[in-house]
Structure 1
Amino acid sequence: MDQSVTRATAAAVERGQLHVVLVLAASTGGIGAHCRSLAQGLVAHGVTVTVCAPAGTDALFGFSRTGARFHLVDITPTAGARSDAAAIGELRRAFTGADVVHAHGLRAGLLSDLALRTAGRFPGLRPETPLVVTSHHAMLATGLDRRLQRLMERRVARAADLVLGASSDLVARARELGASDARLGPVAAPPMPPGTLDREAARAKLLGGRTDRPVVLAIGRLVAQKSFGLLLDAARGFGPDAAVLIAGDGPEADDLRERIAAESLPVELLGYRTDVPDLLAAADVVALSSRWEARSLVVQEAMRAGVPVVSTAVGGVPELVGDAAVLVPYGDAEALGAAVRELLESEERRTALAAAGKLQAQTWPDEADTVAQVLSTYDELVSRQA
């Protein structure tokens, strides 16, 4: 048992009484990977873990293989009276006998709160069960959607016994909205599996045998937050021979594909990929054009792999990378293009940044640190209820 787990929680674990429920909406990336890491670490500490998530999530992340119980709850991306009522009912069943509920994201937090606060007539379900909410994303909607999101944010921030922000700006936001307790809760990137190809083989596979072209790699969901349109704006500035590869899928795929074809841009959409280690092995630079990020999983993977990073200076990225990456203002395609081109033209600079990135990565909390911190917060909440 980790020393950060105090006697109250340790005793509960030993009696088999500590039961934690993790709740998340559909995820194909960082949130799902974090929850899997958390589930595995908690189970290793003897905690009973239930994961509540939509269909397909268990197959993608393997929660059941960690020793956690998987409880199917269809948490939809947007509100709906019928779907929300069904999700709340399933959450009530999953929460029965729980000592802590830990929701990840705004929708999961809101529905978890509603399930707990309307639990009076359900035997074994305690309305006072502590609710932890991890905030992974900034709310970037506009107009009416923005006002509705702010109302939900405020409700969740004030309802939670503890809000963990994945970056400092999210912690500040939770406090601004009235959270009684908000703290930094960094999300560690799980270690990547080893690649199957060396650099030359990976480049040959991606470039059709022409391995002398510089490769600029971007990875992420094709959604507005990632601002891949900005990357396309900057692509011509990377240099005449640069191959720009974007791995990921999402609702903006068709629009991006049409623009690439219409403007004859040196960009290829690779679709959803599971061979990220091989993609990183082939890359000369990883580019991040996002409007906002917390602790970008892609940035962490790239720097650990020794691939230089150029990123927009948004959200938690500056505190994550320190001086070990090149940061440019968001929205400035010219600056993004110039920064990438400068790196592609200087092997010495790329080598220096690759080394700096690996050193910076050693300062980040790993999965064990993250699990220990979360267990410590559970301990506080459980002790208050004792």
Structure 2
Amino acid sequence: MRALTVIAEMGTGGAESVVADLAGHLVATGHEACVASNGGWRADALARIGVATLAIPLRASGPTQFARAVARLRRATAARPVDVVHAHNVRASLAAHLGIRAGRRWRPPLVTTVHGLADGDYTRAARLLAVSDLVVAVSDDVAARLTAGGLDPARLRVIENAVPSPVADPAVRAEVRAELGLAGESRVALCVARLATPKRIDLLLEAWGEVPDATLLLAGDGPDRAALERRATPLGDRVRFLGERRDVGRLLSVADLVVLPSDREGLPMAVLEALAAGVPVVASAVGGLPQLGDDAVELVAPRRPDALAAGVRRVLDDPARRDALVSAGRALVEQRFSSARMQSDYESVYEGVRKGARPS
């Protein structure tokens, strides 16, 4: 099988992590895989293990860049047809349909994974995703929103994201603490998120004033960084902006908890990675996060800095609660969120759409 994946870019985000996992698995099991994107460090890493990459200008907004991406896909697949196309989110799906399928006698099946959208975008997405043979939602919440927006449930399947099992190395903790200048055994919270409005880092900074004796590490970049840095000035060195990082696993080794205050989420990889690494999570009860259960995640009311601060303090100050979250989180990942399970589910989807069937 020759599979082509289309995604805006291949940087640090959760969707990119899923693409890297699936593409690497395809190559390892004897298939051909190509990832078309605007590039990024994950694309470079995939190329080193035998995954083909195709540069398309899909990250930039506007019709000109979109048209160029479509033309590049059309040229590439005219020279070498593919057996299945897997797009991530709506814009990539439209580019894939127009570039690879429209006007051609051979129309390879198109699968779209929706990782999460703004609340007001689901109706439009449901309409536009008529171009896809099958739509995959990463959580029941995303699936319910797409269905409410008008997508036929018969064309929809839920496949939850997954993470590989981490390899623990006790020496890394001391090494990373030294690199970051973290004194002694001071308590550390980690937030891995794009510095943009839906992630509500502004709310987290407001809450942090009510969390004494703890350092907040912000791993990520985005359009709101400068404004957030100004807002964090009164908190001094208790807040560190680390920029975009490729070593989230190393950062997790020094974290006493992971915090995610988002307004909306699908099923965030940062949370699953924390659970797999044995790091307790405090997160807004939005999107697919409540489905993880409050025994595995400290769920707090969204858009409320007081609730967020209270949740963080509860986990930091109560060793029994922290240990219970760690135990339940690891068990949850083993049961539901293994890479092997996700890879098998997508293999089933690819096989089904290639046969003209829509798996139930």
Q: Contact between 1:344 and 1:350, CA under 8 Å: does it hold in 2?
A: yes
Alpha-carbon distance between aligned partners in 2 of 1:59 and 1:380, rounded to the nearest angstrom = 27
1:266 Cα deviation (Å)? 2.9
| 1:132 is aligned to 2:111 | yes
SS of the equivalent of 1:237 reads: coil
Change (3 A) 1:335 1:322: closer
Alpha-carbon distance between aligned partners in 2 of 1:110 and 1:351, rounded to the nearest angstrom = 45
Other-structure match for 2:156: 182
Amino acid at match of 1:134: T
SS of the equivalent of 2:335 reads: coil
Alpha-carbon distance between aligned partners in 2 of 1:275 and 1:323, rounded to the nearest angstrom = 28
Other-structure match for 1:119: 103
Other-structure match for 1:88: 70
Q: Contact between 2:8 and 2:92, CA under 8 Å: does it hold in 1?
A: yes
Q: Which has the larger radius of gyration?
A: 1
Alpha-carbon distance between aligned partners in 1 of 2:225 and 2:167, rounded to the nearest angstrom = 27
Amino acid at match of 2:142: L
Alpha-carbon distance between aligned partners in 2 of 1:76 and 1:321, rounded to the nearest angstrom = 34
Q: 2:288 aligns with which of 305, 316, 323?
A: 316
SS of the equivalent of 1:212 reads: coil
SS of the equivalent of 1:244 reads: strand
Alpha-carbon distance between aligned partners in 2 of 1:255 and 1:168, rounded to the nearest angstrom = 34
1:216 Cα deviation (Å)? 1.6
1:260 Cα deviation (Å)? 0.9
Other-structure match for 1:234: 207
Amino acid at match of 1:214: R
Other-structure match for 1:153: 125
TM-score by length of structure 2 reads: 0.90
Alpha-carbon distance between aligned partners in 2 of 1:76 and 1:101, rounded to the nearest angstrom = 18
Q: 1:221 aligns with which of 194, 202, 219?
A: 194
Greater shift in the superposed pair: 332-341 or 189-198: 189-198
Alpha-carbon distance between aligned partners in 2 of 1:53 and 1:193, rounded to the nearest angstrom = 29
SS of the equivalent of 1:156 reads: helix
1:222 Cα deviation (Å)? 1.0
SS of the equivalent of 1:63 reads: helix
Identity of aligned residues (%): 34
| 1:287 is aligned to 2:259 | yes
Alpha-carbon distance between aligned partners in 2 of 1:189 and 1:135, rounded to the nearest angstrom = 17
Q: Contact between 1:230 and 1:289, CA under 8 Å: does it hold in 2?
A: yes
Alpha-carbon distance between aligned partners in 2 of 1:263 and 1:56, rounded to the nearest angstrom = 33
Other-structure match for 1:74: 57
1:68 Cα deviation (Å)? 2.3
Change (3 A) 1:206 1:197: farther
Q: Contact between 2:166 and 2:276, CA under 8 Å: does it hold in 1?
A: no
Amino acid at match of 1:89: A
TM-score by length of structure 1 reads: 0.84
Q: Contact between 2:166 and 2:277, CA under 8 Å: does it hold in 1?
A: no
Amino acid at match of 2:321: R
Q: 1:304 aligns with which of 273, 276, 281?
A: 276
Alpha-carbon distance between aligned partners in 2 of 1:190 and 1:49, rounded to the nearest angstrom = 20
Alpha-carbon distance between aligned partners in 1 of 2:291 and 2:244, rounded to the nearest angstrom = 28
Other-structure match for 1:40: 24
Q: Contact between 2:215 and 2:238, CA under 8 Å: does it hold in 1?
A: yes
Give the 5 Å matches for 1:1-386: 18-28=1-11, 29-56=13-40, 59-60=43-44, 62-78=45-61, 80-96=62-78, 97-120=81-104, 126=106, 128-140=107-119, 149=121, 152-180=124-152, 181-192=155-166, 197-208=171-182, 210-239=183-212, 241-262=213-234, 264=236, 266-384=238-356
The superposition leaves residues 340-368 of structure 1 with CA deviations (integer Å, 9 ceiling, x where unpaired) of 11222222322222222212221123222
Change (3 A) 1:337 1:98: same
Amino acid at match of 1:229: D
SS of the equivalent of 2:287 reads: coil
Alpha-carbon distance between aligned partners in 1 of 2:7 and 2:286, rounded to the nearest angstrom = 25
Change (3 A) 1:95 1:323: farther
Change (3 A) 1:152 1:57: farther
Q: Contact between 1:295 and 1:320, CA under 8 Å: does it hold in 2?
A: no
Change (3 A) 1:358 1:41: same
1:295 Cα deviation (Å)? 1.8
Change (3 A) 1:250 1:342: same
SS of the equivalent of 1:353 reads: helix
Alpha-carbon distance between aligned partners in 1 of 2:173 and 2:33, rounded to the nearest angstrom = 40
Greater shift in the superposed pair: 275-284 or 291-300: 275-284
Alpha-carbon distance between aligned partners in 2 of 1:228 and 1:186, rounded to the nearest angstrom = 25
1:264 Cα deviation (Å)? 4.8
SS of the equivalent of 2:39 reads: coil
1:330 Cα deviation (Å)? 0.5
The total of aligned residue pairs comes to 352
Q: Contact between 1:105 and 1:136, CA under 8 Å: does it hold in 2?
A: yes
Greater shift in the superposed pair: 171-180 or 19-28: 171-180
Unaligned 5+ residue runs, structure 2?
none
Q: Contact between 2:215 and 2:237, CA under 8 Å: does it hold in 1?
A: no
1:262 Cα deviation (Å)? 4.7
Change (3 A) 1:157 1:322: farther
Alpha-carbon distance between aligned partners in 1 of 2:249 and 2:65, rounded to the nearest angstrom = 38
Other-structure match for 1:7: none
Change (3 A) 1:276 1:35: same
Unaligned 5+ residue runs, structure 1?
1-17, 141-145
Amino acid at match of 2:111: V
1:369 Cα deviation (Å)? 1.7
